[in-house]
Structure 1
Amino acid sequence: MRAFPYPLTSEPDLRSPARYLLWLGGLQKATLAAGILLGTVWMASQAVMPFVLGRAIDDGVIGGDAGALLGWAAALLGLMVVQAVSDTATHRAGVSNWMQAAFRSVRLVGHKIARTGDALPTALSTGEVVSTAASDAFRLGEVYEVLTRLAGAAAAWVVVTVLIWQTSAVLGVVVLIGVPVCCALLLFVVKPMQARQREQREASGRMTAVGADTVAGLRVLRGIGGEHIFVDRYRVKSAATRDSGIRVAHSLADLEASQVFIAGAFSVVFTWVGASLVLSGDITPGELVALYGFSIFLMTPVRAAADSVARFIRAHVGARKIIAVLSVDANVSESATTVSAPPPGSVLVDERSGVVVEPGLLTAVVSREPAESTDAVTRLGRFEDAVLEEATVRWGAADLRHVPLADIRARVVVSEASPHLFSGPLRAQLDPRGTHEDGAVLAALEAASALDILDGLEGGLDHEVTERGRGFSGGQRQRLVLARAYLTEAENLVLVEPTSAVDAHTEQRIAARLAGARRSEGRTTVVVTASPLVLRTMDRVLFMEGGRVTDRGTHKELMNRNDEYRNVVIRSE
């Protein structure tokens, strides 16, 4: 019984497309070997049939030996059975090889998407990544399917050469040299096709990127009446993709025509030489029939070579795109020198900004420039190691860069300003790990003032959320994400502008319930906000100017003594 998904026993070789293809092949050596063996049996049994037919004519028909005729007829029947069985088995092994390579590549891309974070969309567009997983991986897998037929065709070419050599050394030399020459001639057509396919793949990726961007911002575009601009952009990219596809089709047509012409010309020359040998009495009529069958069969290796080259080109282009995705490094990775995570109740300190998060308190961070306070508290979640090289963050006595990521992710949760929801049941969106009973989920929704959202859904917690939560308004998404943050029960929870998209009445309810939702068991909460409704419920407020904390105290204390703080809060109100 096979185990799925297929195991990945080593790291992918990303040094070149060819090395990546070889690495994938190494993971499925058994099925590749089986496919090549079966393909060889299939093609070799076809190659032997003209020889058996010629012997049946010479020994049975012309020689008048009924026993020999029956014997060779039985051999033909046996070859047909072998062909039927090996053909079916070869196809099955080929498809298995195809799917293994394709789904291993899709799995690698999926893992990279999940683990790389913001680094991947910064390096590559969404359309490029989608095309890589949806298209390139499966084109790459075709190589391992066609490899079985290519190996079989090569083996059949050797068998035919040996059989023809027994009949005529001249024809043996023609086959031995002529077939590789015919295959080599096809390279003159293949090279321009490779460049055109690369161009078409690039154009397709750009078109998909524009489509993905349009879909992502469709609601906004409709609101401002700008959808026609993106439609025009997509039309231009689509036309470019169509034109490049037509050029690829021209190359494919040239390849098809070339292989028919070259193989046909070789077949004519081969048959003409064989007929001349019959007229001169060097070979028998049965051998001529066999040679004619060989001439037809020898088109198979040429066609197999042409098909394989075309697929190898597509796979090479696809492998290059997959390598581009897999080569993107995450913004954060495990340190070579790790230290133990600090005990519960340890203080978090961002040394660059002077933000100090005391355990068990509700701390607000306010700044004239919201980006400054957001950057400071986001560093507490360790999302970019490059940033932490310039700004040390300490968790207790430990440098955050050296604390294991698993501990940070479990104990420090950052809920960013732009809420994200995914497709699936609402219950799974709020409690991804499925560790809470419905009562706890409802309590979190109550704390986030989001129960009214649930009341408006026919399926309740089983409601199917559409892609990116587009069925909800911005304020509804924000409250649902806040409830999800509460359900993490993180020791340290960082909330960035958690009430920016809700009305004042809802914001007041959220602010009033925030302390009750987080103070239990001494949990620590950091909120980036300038809303007085939220600030007045905080235990401590840190005020930043120029990227540094310049004052701290309660909201009331800062309002009484700090004019800059008062101006920021009043402006936000």
Structure 2
Amino acid sequence: MRSFPYKNAGKPDLRSPNRYLLWLAGAQRGTLLLGIMYGSIWTVCQALTPYILGQAIDLGILPGDFATLSLWVGLLIGLTVVQSISATLRHRAAVSNWLQAAYRSSQVVGHKVTRSGDALPQKFSTGEVVSTTASDSMRIGEIFDVAARLAGSVIGYLLVSYLVFQTSWQLGLVVLIGVPLCGAGMLFVIRPLQRRQKDQREASGQMTALGADTVAGLRVLRGIGGEHIFVERYRERSRATQLAGNKVAYSLADLDAAQVFVVGVFSVAFTWIGAMQAVSGQIEAGQLVALYGYAVFLVSPIRTSADAVSRFIRAQVGAKRIIDVLSTPSAVHDVDTTVSSPTSPSALLDEVTGVVITPGRLSAIVSGDPAHSADLARRLGRFEDAVLREAQVTWGEDALHLMPLREVRSRIVVSDAEPQLFTGTLREELDPSGDHSDEQIMAAIDVASADDVFDGLEDGLNDEVTEKGRGFSGGQRQRLTLARAVLMDAEVLVLIEPTSAVDAHTESRIATALRRTRSTPGHSTVVVTASPLLLAAMDTVAFLQDGKVQAQGTHRHLLDTVPAYRKVVLRGEGMDGHGAAVSGGTDTRPAVELSQDNTTPGGEK
């Protein structure tokens, strides 16, 4: 049993599909060499079987020498046993090589996804990345599956050529020249197959991408009655993929027919020449039987070589797609530097806006343009190093983008506005590392006011979460994400609109709990929001206009002194200015929150 993930095999060679395949071969060369060895033994046993039969006939049966016949029969039995054992070991090694190449490719793509930041989503859709790991990696594995058989076929072909030369030099030349010519003759069929497989891969990737996007937006589509439009688009993509697959099937059928025809012609010609030499007395009867056995054996190398070329084409197509993903420049890089993160809680300074995040305080960011506050949160979380080089963020005395990425990720946590939940138990969802007790998990859930999530769960924390948390409402997903962020107990916690999908009463409880939990000297909390209830619980609020700090102070102070701030925070006359609702007023939810989520009167999506 092999453990997964595999050990780091170094940086993949992305200069070409062939170089990437060679890199994979080097990463699993031990198993690959074993497979080639077992495949060679297996094929050599097959190649020697006709020779032993011929010798048994000529030296044992025809002269009536029972002792010699017994010797050759014993050798044949031993050869059969070795062939059976080597066939089993070859198959095990072939499957292992296949899966190693496929899973290692999936592993490097997964590692790329986790390290690339927003670079991949900007270039590829989710469906395209999924198709790369689920389909292309398996296509790559196929070439390593057939490698052992191909190596054995080459050795078997050379051995048979030598044995046939011992019988007849004319037939030896037929084998030595005819087999490569038969393989070359099938290239005329393989070339269209390569083009059609590439087209089919493109159509399949587009269909998968459309399917993933449709599933992700299914709730919204149903809400506006637009699912039939996307169903029709998916049907069109599916039909295009089917037609492309049919063309691939045509080429595969042509390839199979060409194999049968070419191999048949070669076998008939080879056997006919041998029969003519037997009739003329040039060869013995046993040698004729051996020649027929060689003709049957040579079918295997020809078919294996054609199969290998077909799989190699698919592997090249898959490797090209994986290289496209892996060669996408990452948004963040772990550079070699002597700069280390601060040894104690330190201030974060964003030079673009002038915002200073003071340790031990709850800070809020409000902006007239939500894009500016969102960009600030991304810079504080070090999502794009290129941006930080131009707009520097310092943590303590040094630039944030020069610090070790692992330290930044472990000490600065950003909880995005769009909650992401994955399949697994609720406990694994909230505590992926498994470092916290149930009591600590429940305490974080209490901070996020997410206790109602357990009302419909029979197994509590052991209950299975469906893909993307679709079994929960939008507000429940948002609060579970908040609980997960709080549970990490990060030194710096950046929350982007953490309560946009909950009602006012729940939001008030969350604001109080956040202040109680995060108001300690070792924690810094940054909340990007325009909610009066959250802002009232903050120690300080920074108001941005045109991407710069326009004013800073408490929520109450800014309401009383900065009209532009009041206009952004309050939506109408439904607030008294300090977060309390006034009877008869209009909707009291901030405009920036309502623009992001469609909520019911209860606050849930």
TM-score, normalised to structure 2, is 0.91
Distance 1:372 1:3, change over 3 A: closer
| Structure 1 contact 444–483 (Cα < 8 Å) conserved | yes
Distance 1:287 1:433, change over 3 A: closer
Q: Over aligned residues, Cα RMSD in angstroms? A: 1.8
Q: Give, in angstroms, the shift of residue 4 of structure 1.
A: 4.8
Q: Which residue of 2 aligns with 1:218?
A: 218
| Structure 1 contact 128–209 (Cα < 8 Å) conserved | yes
Q: Which residue of 1 aligns with 2:587?
A: none
Larger mean Cα displacement after TM superposition, 305-314 or 511-520: 511-520
Matching of residue 257 in structure 1 with residue 257 in structure 2? yes
State the Cα deviation string for residues 182-234 of structure 1 (Å, max 9, x = none). Answer: 11111111111011111111111111111111111111111111111111111
- Structure 1: runs of 5 or more not aligned: none
Aligned residue identity for 2:288: L
Equivalences for residues 1-20 of structure 1 within 5 A: 4-20=4-20
Equivalences for residues 139-288 of structure 1 within 5 A: 139-288=139-288
Q: Which residue of 2 aligns with 1:397?
A: 397
Q: Give, in angstroms, the shift of residue 435 of structure 1.
A: 2.7
Larger mean Cα displacement after TM superposition, 313-322 or 47-56: 47-56
Distance 1:440 1:34 in 2: 50
Q: Which residue of 1 aligns with 2:307?
A: 307
Q: SS where residue 15 of structure 2 aligns?
A: coil
| Structure 1 contact 344–491 (Cα < 8 Å) conserved | no
State the Cα deviation string for residues 409-452 of structure 1 (Å, max 9, x = none). Answer: 22222111111222222222222233333223222222222222
| Structure 1 contact 132–322 (Cα < 8 Å) conserved | yes
Distance 1:2 1:60, change over 3 A: same
Matching of residue 463 in structure 1 with residue 457 in structure 2? no
Q: Give, in angstroms, the shift of residue 2 of structure 1.
A: 5.7
Q: Give, in angstroms, the shift of residue 5 of structure 1.
A: 4.0
| Structure 1 contact 518–525 (Cα < 8 Å) conserved | yes
Distance 1:360 1:182, change over 3 A: same
TM-score, normalised to structure 1, is 0.96
Q: SS where residue 422 of structure 2 aligns?
A: coil
Q: SS where residue 570 of structure 2 aligns?
A: helix
Q: Which residue of 1 aligns with 2:497?
A: 497
Equivalences for residues 61-80 of structure 1 within 5 A: 61-80=61-80
Q: Which residue of 2 aligns with 1:369?
A: 369
State the Cα deviation string for residues 314-342 of structure 1 (Å, max 9, x = none). Answer: 11111112222222232111233341222
Q: Give, in angstroms, the shift of residue 68 of structure 1.
A: 2.6
| Structure 2 contact 97–141 (Cα < 8 Å) conserved | yes
Distance 1:5 1:541, change over 3 A: closer
Q: Give, in angstroms, the shift of residue 309 of structure 1.
A: 0.9
Q: Which residue of 2 aligns with 1:106?
A: 106
Distance 2:360 2:58 in 1: 99
Q: Which residue of 2 aligns with 1:421?
A: 421
| Structure 1 contact 426–463 (Cα < 8 Å) conserved | yes
Distance 2:270 2:397 in 1: 84
- Structure 2: runs of 5 or more not aligned: 572-589, 592-605
Q: Which residue of 1 aligns with 2:120?
A: 120
Larger mean Cα displacement after TM superposition, 474-483 or 67-76: 67-76
Distance 1:88 1:340, change over 3 A: closer
Distance 1:23 1:198 in 2: 22
Q: Give, in angstroms, the shift of residue 3 of structure 1.
A: 5.3
| Structure 2 contact 378–384 (Cα < 8 Å) conserved | no
Distance 2:183 2:170 in 1: 20
Q: SS where residue 359 of structure 2 aligns?
A: coil
Q: Which residue of 1 aligns with 2:431?
A: 431
Aligned residue identity for 1:80: T
Aligned residue identity for 1:554: T
Q: Give, in angstroms, the shift of residue 43 of structure 1.
A: 1.4
Aligned residue identity for 1:289: V
Q: Identity over aligned residues, as a percent? A: 59
Larger mean Cα displacement after TM superposition, 222-231 or 95-104: 95-104
Matching of residue 29 in structure 1 with residue 29 in structure 2? yes
Distance 2:4 2:481 in 1: 33
Larger mean Cα displacement after TM superposition, 388-397 or 3-12: 3-12
Distance 1:373 1:4 in 2: 40
User: Matched residue pairs, number?
Assistant: 573
Q: SS where residue 493 of structure 2 aligns?
A: strand
Q: Which residue of 1 aligns with 2:449?
A: 449
Distance 2:359 2:85 in 1: 71
Distance 1:413 1:172, change over 3 A: same
State the Cα deviation string for residues 459-490 of structure 1 (Å, max 9, x = none). Answer: 22222221111111111112222222222222
Q: Give, in angstroms, the shift of residue 560 of structure 1.
A: 1.7
Q: Give, in angstroms, the shift of residue 75 of structure 1.
A: 2.6
Distance 1:354 1:410 in 2: 25
Q: SS where residue 11 of structure 1 aligns?
A: coil
